[in-house]
Amino acid sequence: MQISVEGKLIEAAAGVSCAEVLKQALSGKRFKAALACRVRTADTEELLDLSAEVPAGALELAPVTAEEPEGLQLLRHSTSHVMAAAVQKLFPGVKVTIGPSIDSGFYYDFDAPRPFSPDDLEAIEKQMRAIIAENVPFERSVMNKADAVALFRDKGENYKVEIIEGIDADTVSLYRCGDFLDLCRGPHIPATGAVKAFKLLSVAGAYWRGDEKNPMLSRIYGTAFPDEKALKDYLAAIEEAKRRDHRRLGKELGLFSFHEDVAPGMSFWLPKGMMLRTILEDFLVREHLKRGYELVRGPQILRRELWERSGHYDHYRENMYFTEIEGDVHGVKPMNCVGHMLMYGETLHSYRDLPVRMFELGVVHRHEKSGTLHGLLRVRQFTQDDAHIICAIDQLEEEIINVMHLSADLMDLFGFKYRIFISTRPEDSIGSDEAWERATSALIKAVEKEGKPYQINEGDGAFYGPKIDIKVTDAIGREWQLSTIQVDFTLPERFDLVYVGQDGERHRPVMVHRAILGSLERFIGVLTEHYAGAFPAWLAPVQARIVNVTDSQMDYVKEMKSRLAAAGLRVETDLRNEKLGFKIREAQMAKIPYVLVVGDREVADGGFSVRLRSGENIGFRSVEEVIAMVRTESEEPFKRGGMSYSFA
């Protein structure tokens, strides 16, 4: 048979391996870079081991290298097998469970007599290097399911037995790497020598299958890259991420704290953090009022019957908290949409009233497993910048576009680049096929009308409707999901929402669920890391700190604080009996934009010696110049989006 490889036609005999075909068509360097083979037939495309036999009907073969996303994933998964082989060699009796590749690398979960510690990683890495140096081949075999169960049961690998018994197939595939045998679909790299650069990163605990009722396992995280430079760059990025960790910065800057012993998954907002949050919330309220939203607020708990009616009880109750009041079960709200629909339904609306846009900085609670909680980024109690737009169907596209514009304006304000994803119907959902098709079509048309590129994220919509997800990239290249825009034909039907049309008849509106920043807690966590705690002047909890040289300037410092505060600046003083250099350094460590130094000369001249948090000394400035400087810097980011900043 003839097979195409990168434009070359190769004659291949029956039973020939993928490697043999690729070798005929590729240069030596290109062939050596291949980790696996992509095989295309008339109907299918799949990845195979290089050692695999070319399947009948193959039309095209292509090498898969570590420079491609699929190849990098394959390399990392194979490295997890090398790690597991090293662990079992060093720690006899350890049982293996699963070891997938993930976005940033890989992990493997082990049932060990004692949990692994960071001190174990060096020894495991050393053993991995020995296995890599031996260039041990990965060998695939296929076994009858019952025989595989017996094999792993004899080995005492009860987790593998459980996995195999849950597979709906007569046979399973296994991969051997030296003495290590694992259940795996594959494919894998040809041999361990293809692992060029790797690092074990951390250890953690993880429940088997993510269930708290199951045994706690010991998880080892690692990563692998095609070369040492890529690995070095990644490790440098990890160190930068640690430097920016919002949990550390939140404590150092006095923004927020956590008390996991009494309130796991909930944050405590300290004065400076509460100031930052209030500035952000005030801005959001003003911006929404300008764009035609009305402010509302609903209760925290609602009777269970309401959550049954909305579908949350059937599709979301594992994420909800419930309480009983006088024999009635109430659900603590995980979302604000139900309350907004009740408020809309209190009045019979005309088509002239539409769209109705309700905005709420709504506090919600969602049950997250303790192992997933992570500072402000994954919490159980949070506030959403939540809004629901109830409109006629012919208004839907314009409303989606308006929300996209608001999101784009805010992402630009904070300096985020972003990508758009359209998430479609999940398996666990409510509503008719027709409603889902109309909703999905409306989202796609709106995005395409704006000329925005997008990707389809199959099956990741909300249970009641498809959505646009906007993912932003922060200052060090990490991606975060923030804005979401969801179109919902189903809940208006369930809550019998209507409006009176021009024809005098009652019609069913459509609802847009949307959040721009999402969870304010999570957004502030992301923002803290994005700015490394150095918030722009408009958002900084303290915009200026006045420091004195000696006690003789104390009265002047207090007078200047009052004057700057009266002008709308957020200012504090440092009057401690400490060396001036120490006080300046502390202000810079606190990420305060302006340090205003006052000595006898500054008192005499009526101003300040101004230093920036970068350490730059910009010299003497009058009080009026300082006020103008802070105002100008605070207002500048808003000019791009036609927004305004208020010092009120």
Catalytic residues: 337, 366, 384, 386, 388, 467, 513
Question: Is 330 in contact with 302 (CB distance < 8 Å)?
Answer: yes
Beta bridge pairs of residue 9:
4
**Which CA distances in Å does 426 have to 293, 359, 466?**
30, 27, 9
- List the one residue out of 217, 86, 206 whose CA is nearest residue 158: 217
Residue 609 corresponds to which tokens in the numbers above?
């010696």
**Closest listed residue to residue 437, CA positions, set 484, 507, 487, 401:** 487
Say if CB 49 and CB 177 are below 8 A apart. Answer: no
49 token code pair: 């081991």
Phi-psi category of 380—alpha, beta or left, where left has phi over 0 and alpha has psi -120 to 50?
alpha
Which among 519, 383, 378, 453 has a CA at the least distance from the CA of 468? Answer: 453
3-class DSSP string for 469-533: EEEEECCCCCEEEEEEEEEECHHHHHCCCCEECCCCCEECCEEEEEEEEEEHHHHHHHHHHHCCC
Q: Is 327 left (phi over 0), alpha (psi -120 to 50) or beta?
A: left
* φ, ψ for residue 367, nearest 5 deg: -80, 120
Identity of residue 335: M
What is the maximum alpha-carbon separation in the chain? Answer: 95
Residue 296: count of CB within 10 angstroms of its CB: 18
Q: Tell me, what DSSP letter sits at residue 64? A: E
- Distance from C-alpha of 374 to C-alpha of 371, rounded to nearest angstrom: 8
| Of the candidates 298, 381, 287, the residue with the CA atom closest to the CA atom of residue 340 | 298
